Amino acid sequence: MFYFEIFYCKPVSTVVECETQEVDDEMDKKYSDVLRALRKKHGFIQQDIAARLDELGAPTTKAQVSRWETGLNNPTIDQFIGLCRIYGVKDVYGVFGMGDLSDLEYSLNREGVEKLADYKKLLIASGLFSPVKLEDRVVPFRRRTAPMYDIGASAGTGQFLDSDSYEMVEVPDEVPDSATFGLHVCGDSMEPTLEDGQEIWVQMQPTLESGEIGIFYLDGNAYVKEYRRTGKDVFLISHNDKYPPIAIKEYNESRIYGKVVYPR
């Protein structure tokens, strides 16, 4: 979410008191209302938005979309950019500030240009989109960065993978270029293949072949397991014999986050 702080300041001798809480609360409320109005205007349900954000490379669940629209949480910058693409929002400040939802085909105003410049700085800082001058004879060594989630994918009981809980870190050289994000194993059910606390790297993709290890969402929890399909039956398999297979049924809310590409 982009934050716009409006300060009302009143001088009191050497102390300046600034009141922002009411403004912040109003902005948060309006932000969630706009997201809900945009979705309904385009005829989407919350599950549609989650699926479209997945396609744009910003993994999202229906529950997250619901929390955004009730003001309980905010999307990441990747998710927000994806939402703008889905809803056709060009003037970010106009739509989420004082815009008219009846017409979303804007040119960027001054505030929108400033926000676009901020996003440009983030892209350049990532090291993936830095400009290269033709006259440069030496290609600089590029450090690749990617999100590392601070909530582990459980190899035992399962923990929810909250896409807001990460930091950008340098990706080790041995990790394949296809890796999208990293996290740590939590639990021992994938031993000896994956150890408790081990760092793993994941290629974001919506499907897996039977026998591949991936990261899964199942009824509010995140798991690292082997994907196995037998006829019409689908199971999440632990490599530690102490843990039985988890059968995925039609009534379960489940999806695939991606494939573990490191370690292989």
Closest Cα partner for 173 from 150, 142, 202? 142
What DSSP string runs through 45-70? -HHHHHHHHHHTT----HHHHHHHHT
24-83 per-position pLDDT tens digit: 444 455 778 888 888 988 888 999 999 999 998 989 998 899 888 888 888 998 898 989
User: Average pLDDT of 198-224?
Assistant: 91
Helix axes 62-69, 21-41, angle to 10 degrees: 130
CA 86 vs CA 6, 90, 99, 103: distances in Å: 29, 11, 17, 15
Query: Between 168 and 16, whose confidence is greater?
Result: 168
What local confidence, expressed as pLDDT, does residue 12 receive? Answer: 39
Q: Given a cut of 70, is residue 205 above it in pLDDT?
A: yes
What predicted TM-score, i.e. pTM, was given to this entire model? Answer: 0.46
Closest Cα partner for 191 from 245, 240, 262? 240
Domain residue limits, the chain:
8-125, 147-262
Query: What is d(CA 214, CA 188) in angstroms, rounded to the nearest whole number?
Result: 16
166-181 per-position pLDDT tens digit: 788 999 989 999 998 8
Which residues, other chains included, contact 44 with Cβ-Cβ below 8 Å and sequence gap of 6+?
52, 86
84-120 per-position pLDDT tens digit: 888 888 777 777 765 555 544 445 566 766 777 777 7
Topology of the domain comprising 147-262: Umud Fragment, subunit A (2.10.109)
Right CATH for 8-125 from 1.10.340.30, 3.40.50.12280, 1.20.59.10, 1.10.260.40: 1.10.260.40
Any idea which of 80-89, 125-134, 230-239 has the lowest mean pLDDT?
A: 125-134
What local confidence, expressed as pLDDT, does residue 178 receive? Answer: 92
Which residues, other chains included, contact 141 with Cβ-Cβ below 8 Å and sequence gap of 6+?
none
Closest Cα partner for 222 from 176, 167, 153, 157? 153
Query: What is d(CA 12, CA 34) in angstroms, rounded to the nearest whole number?
Result: 37
150-170 per-position pLDDT tens digit: 766 665 555 545 556 778 899
DSSP 8-class letter at 119: H
Which residues, other chains included, contact 195 with Cβ-Cβ below 8 Å and sequence gap of 6+?
185, 188
Which residues, other chains included, contact 159 with Cβ-Cβ below 8 Å and sequence gap of 6+?
151, 152, 153, 186, 221, 222
What local confidence, expressed as pLDDT, does residue 130 receive? Answer: 61
What local confidence, expressed as pLDDT, does residue 200 receive? Answer: 93
